[in-house]
Amino acid sequence: MPYHAYRTIFCESLATNPRYTIKFKYLIEPGHYFLWVGYEIEPLRRFILDEICERFLEGPVGEQEIPK
């Protein structure tokens, strides 16, 4: 694996405050953070499954065999 799967999920107050959001493009690579506005579960679930699981785990999540 060429890079670790570390991601940052920002709470709504940080995700909407220009004091922080202006800096994100200089400090954090695109796709390595999620701005969680409104605390809706579906966008967060898609970010975790699409951006983290599919990118860093072998094969789709639903098709992986869990070791016993």
User: How many Cβ atoms from other residues are within 10 Å of residue 41's Cβ?
Assistant: 8
Whole-prediction pTM: 0.68
Q: Is 10:34 a contact under the CB 8 Å cutoff?
A: yes
Per-residue pLDDT of 8-67, as tens digits, reads: 899 999 999 999 989 888 888 888 889 999 999 999 999 988 888 777 766 555 555 655
- Say how far apart CA 26 and CA 67 lie, in whole Å: 40
